[in-house]
Structure 1
């Protein structure tokens, strides 16, 4: 009954199929605004679904409360207190009883409160009666997370609003693995290949290298945005952006140590919101630190790319990141992996297939170690494709650009065993 046309898979479908279907549905759902939602459930199924919804990143701004009881319980609770932006009410009552109970609720409901009813009868005439009585939506149990979040999105997200751009966060499994270099090259490739506007945000305020890699020394950048959130709008953002090429702009880091850079957990989220509204693609160069703000930012990004080199410490850190991010983002695709600096002479390495087995993925790209090419590009302030357009690394950068923007799909790998590296991971 929703505009997003969410449907449950048949009950005989496998659990993995259900999860993949919901992940595909969620890609079309925008983050919900800062609203208050109260749920009144009569079945454990809806209670569990709402608990899972509360953990989804798209509901990060939603103030959600889950209560037992149906329509009458809601009427009693709000008899002496204001109602929230949205009420989700489960009921097993027959049609006439439900209409009567909703009439009692209407007497205590604020005029701007929206109501969604979760029923157990698939009845078109009942649906029409409820809509005539002011109910925003009627959905039939059992409901999935996609059903619930889709209905809320239909009610509170303006369908005529400009779509949000795609955000891609690059982070290294360890310092020095080349995550920033790959992020910068990916941003340049997207802007050059697709003639699409891209904003690159260098979030390593103390040691960021985007200004060096693009041979630019702007006087303003991301520091002014994060330290002046009250001034942050499209006009202020435009003043802070530095043009790197026709379609690529940069929020540069100051790369100075004249002060410390300690941030609140949500310090960078307003910046992410505004750059997503102003560019189809935003590339986030996230430093290799684990703090409240990096965790929040990685949770909020649409895609995450982890860069690692093929050694044991990187494997341990990568697996920890994968495991943690899968828990924080249970309804999103897992992070993507780039293996970088592969084939360094005289360095013992873990083979790529052995490295990826515990992660149960295929690498997005395997980048060979090429010190002359990367060194020349870095020292001249150019991208790899500018220095050597025909090199395999430039081709890999183009492939990465296609996948992270959704223009191509990464290969899927069947679940692999973990036995091959459990001994290595157990070492200290």
Structure 2
């Protein structure tokens, strides 16, 4: 084991200062209980921030002040959790003595991580020899702490999990589903990477139409049979749309109402991630406990909007809400769609993006002929018109989401850049 040290205090650091690649590599923590006993705010705050992270959604975390002695007093009359995190400013010899007292009241199955203020190799070896799971040197970075927790509770030989990309419209009818389907198809074709596209709009989903599929089973069976859902069952529900692309289709019928609990799709998404590198989620426009949960836990979010005032208001609300619920993640991505509709007053992309604090990753022009033809034929745009300018936008989004290759600056499809600049 190597000693983990941190370069700077993490408590007041914004997400912009985090190493995104380090956070992306952290596995979700299973359902465990964690209690921390801290002596300084500079250590307590990163732990509190970690507790708010979507990867810690299943863990129950409590942060106390008081250090090792406070923990010893507390556990003298209470069971210890799965993981105890302890901060101590004590010198090495004194720290070992404090931990000996804690060992007398600590349950054998609990793991202990110590955060000390002495960068001492001999102390590290002493603590590891006494059964301490890890020793970190303050100040700590939140990403370092979460990586340690992940290593303690995720098997070393566990396979990597796929990344989830959630697409949602700022308003109904803005083309979010079409965007999700074409980007998912582009990822599968560009990188020869397996993709599962899940249509979460059970009553009105269009993925089955857009891919010319009519599967007998799909996402409804997965959600309503969650108690027996596993890799094998999920594989039977998938329909193959193209090389490396499989669809979990919505029934798109109204024989029942679709009212879901907050975690209705959690098990499905987690199982899909275990077997597929990319899971694209076509999230319907709406706001409920389950849509908020799906969006908050996704690795990347793409908001699709058209350039009018209602879309701007809704996009602003989405960006603000999701940024607050995902404090340690990048903000959502923005795609502006259906630009340059004849005679329609539009907010310019620059004016639309400014209050959101985002730069659109793609700008897609209005072309009802091409998109309508593709939809009616159950094909993607690239399958019906290989030279259509929107293909470059879809591929750019695929590069941005996957982080593969060097994504160039987004271009305005259909030659919109010059025309919009002249207005």
**Structure 2: 5+ residue stretches without partners:** 411-423
Equivalent residue of 2:167, what SS? strand
**Partners in 2 of 1:85 and 1:120 — Cα distance?**
24
**1:226–1:271 CA contact under 8 A, matched in 2:** yes
- Structure 1 residues 101 and 15, CA gap change in structure 2 (3 angstroms): closer
**Partners in 1 of 2:390 and 2:371 — Cα distance?**
10
- 1:234 pairs, out of 231, 248, 256, with 231
- 1:122 pairs, out of 116, 119, 122, with 119
- Structure 1 residues 156 and 203, CA gap change in structure 2 (3 angstroms): same
Partner residue, 1:28: 25
Q: By how many angstroms is 1:20 displaced?
A: 3.1
Partner residue, 2:340: 343
The CA deviation string for residues 111-137 of structure 1, in whole angstroms up to 9 with x for no partner, is: 221111111111111111111111111
Q: By how many angstroms is 1:103 displaced?
A: 1.6
**Partners in 2 of 1:334 and 1:342 — Cα distance?**
23
Partner residue, 1:8: 7
**1:269–1:297 CA contact under 8 A, matched in 2:** yes
Q: By how many angstroms is 1:10 displaced?
A: 8.6
1:149 aligns with 2:146: yes
**Partners in 2 of 1:409 and 1:258 — Cα distance?**
47
Please tell me the root mean square deviation across aligned C-alpha atoms, in Å.
1.9
**2:5–2:138 CA contact under 8 A, matched in 1:** no
Partner residue, 2:59: 62
- Structure 1 residues 291 and 29, CA gap change in structure 2 (3 angstroms): same
Q: By how many angstroms is 1:58 displaced?
A: 1.1
- 2:365 pairs, out of 368, 381, 396, with 368
Partner residue, 1:140: 137
**Partners in 2 of 1:6 and 1:78 — Cα distance?**
28
The within-5 A match list for 1:321-340 is 321-340=318-337
- 2:274 pairs, out of 274, 277, 290, with 277
TM-score (norm 1): 0.91
The CA deviation string for residues 308-354 of structure 1, in whole angstroms up to 9 with x for no partner, is: 00111111111111111111111111111110000101100011111
Equivalent residue of 1:104, what SS? helix
Q: By how many angstroms is 1:411 displaced?
A: 7.1
**Structure 1: 5+ residue stretches without partners:** 414-428
**2:5–2:137 CA contact under 8 A, matched in 1:** no
Partner residue, 2:208: 211
**1:195–1:247 CA contact under 8 A, matched in 2:** yes
- 1:42 pairs, out of 39, 42, 49, with 39
The CA deviation string for residues 263-298 of structure 1, in whole angstroms up to 9 with x for no partner, is: 111111111101111111110000001111111111
**Partners in 2 of 1:361 and 1:315 — Cα distance?**
12
Q: Which runs of 4+ in 1 moved over 4 A?
A: 408-413
